[in-house]
């Protein structure tokens, strides 16, 4: 089957790849997104050699399937199984060594470390983060405790709604956003009743009562990336336009870099924040901002057989804007975020 969408990071310093931000409340946002993406892929194919893995402007529907959304992606703070494994990974260890270190430091539903709690509190105090979170209508989290706890520390509840599920913004736990599943105890979650007792202000209607999906076999890259893709589609079908998603480094890496239906686009401003590639793995408590759009895929097989294809999701990373009175000491370190390990 001929695939007409690029499956890798689209990142370039050429002016044609830089796009102005658009307000998610604008009625013309969908049309603006379509025009922008057609321009992007047209520029890509005009400079690339012919390839079945590259799309062209004719592969895009006239309009997105859903209105574009502003999505903030946040990885949880440092957890018990992270310190040695993450340090080794940053120094170029093999995946086998990385996995072995996590096994040695494994813990059921691994909790945040003292440093992890401090990372989340620090993130929530930063002006640019508070500014980014001001319009969030829904907070979505993995069902693992370290992600739920990070969400509550970075974007805390007011005292008046701390003991009720009617919090604003609404907080929804989604099973598809859990970490790479299987083998590791830190990937196992608590029963829903325990989660409801520990986090009463969260809605757990989206998850099963018991964790029946965990097995002693490590989940494959393809299965994990497909699960993350399915979760992003769930967000796109929601009515909320501004969403904070708190989840995990492995899941984000597989979903964003290994799924043929997810395309990363670099729409950041052309200065220091473009030094980090958009494909780089998230650091602990690192926050990035995206414009997420879904597109109908047009393929030769679909035209021939009349069969529907899975939609393509574009995640365009944009520069996270801060309030105009940001001081120099409150700037956000793009490289590694708040990863202080």
φ, ψ (nearest 5 deg) of residue 247: -150, -130
Instruction: Tell me the whole-structure pTM to 2 decimals.
Output: 0.79
Q: What SS3 state is found at 173?
A: strand
Cα–Cα distance, 159 to 165 (Å, whole number):
13
Contact 338, 124 (CB under 8 A): no
Per-residue confidence of the chain (341 residues) as pLDDT tens digits? 323 333 334 443 333 333 333 334 444 545 555 555 555 554 444 433 333 333 444 455 556 888 999 999 999 999 999 999 989 988 999 989 999 999 999 999 999 999 999 999 999 999 999 999 999 999 999 999 999 999 999 999 875 455 555 567 899 999 999 999 999 999 999 999 999 999 999 999 999 999 999 999 999 999 999 999 999 999 999 999 999 999 999 999 999 999 999 999 999 987 656 678 999 999 999 999 999 999 987 654 444 455 568 899 999 999 987 765 444 444 433 333 333 23
Token pair for 129: 């983060």
């Amino acid at each position: 089957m001929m695939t007409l969408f690029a499956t890798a990071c689209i990142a370039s310093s050429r002016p044609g790849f830089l796009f102005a931000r658009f307000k998610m409340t604008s009625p013309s946002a969908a049309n603006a997104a379509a025009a922008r993406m057609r321009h992007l892929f047209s520029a890509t194919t005009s400079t690339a050699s012919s390839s079945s893995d590259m799309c062209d402007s004719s592969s895009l529907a006239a309009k997105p399937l859903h209105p574009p959304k502003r999505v903030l992606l946040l990885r949880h703070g440092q957890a018990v199984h992270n310190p040695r494994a993450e340090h080794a990974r940053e120094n170029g260890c093999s995946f086998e060594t990385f996995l072995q270190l996590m096994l040695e430091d494994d813990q059921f539903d691994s909790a945040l470390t003292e440093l992890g709690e401090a990372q989340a509190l620090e993130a929530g105090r930063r002006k640019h983060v508070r500014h980014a979170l001001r319009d969030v209508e829904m907070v979505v989290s993995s069902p693992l405790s370290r992600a739920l706890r990070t969400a509550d520390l970075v974007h805390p509840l007011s005292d008046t709604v701390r003991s009720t599920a009617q919090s604003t913004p609404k907080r929804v736990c989604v099973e598809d956003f859990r970490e790479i599943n299987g083998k590791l105890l830190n990937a196992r979650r608590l029963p829903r009743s325990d989660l409801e007792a520990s986090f009463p202000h969260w809605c757990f209607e989206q998850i099963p009562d018991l964790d029946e999906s965990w097995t002693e076999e490590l989940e494959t890259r393809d299965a994990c990336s497909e699960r993350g893709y399915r979760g992003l589609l769930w967000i796109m079908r929601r009515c909320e336009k501004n969403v904070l998603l708190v989840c995990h480094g492995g899941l984000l890496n597989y979903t964003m870099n290994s799924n043929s239906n997810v395309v990363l686009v670099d729409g950041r401003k052309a200065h220091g924040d473009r030094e980090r590639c958009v494909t780089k793995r998230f650091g602990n408590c690192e926050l990035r901002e995206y414009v997420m759009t879904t597109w109908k895929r047009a393929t030769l097989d679909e035209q021939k057989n009349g069969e529907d294809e899975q939609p393509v999701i574009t995640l365009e990373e944009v520069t996270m804007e801060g309030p105009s009175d940001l001081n120099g000491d409150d700037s956000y370190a793009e490289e590694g975020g708040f990863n202080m390990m």
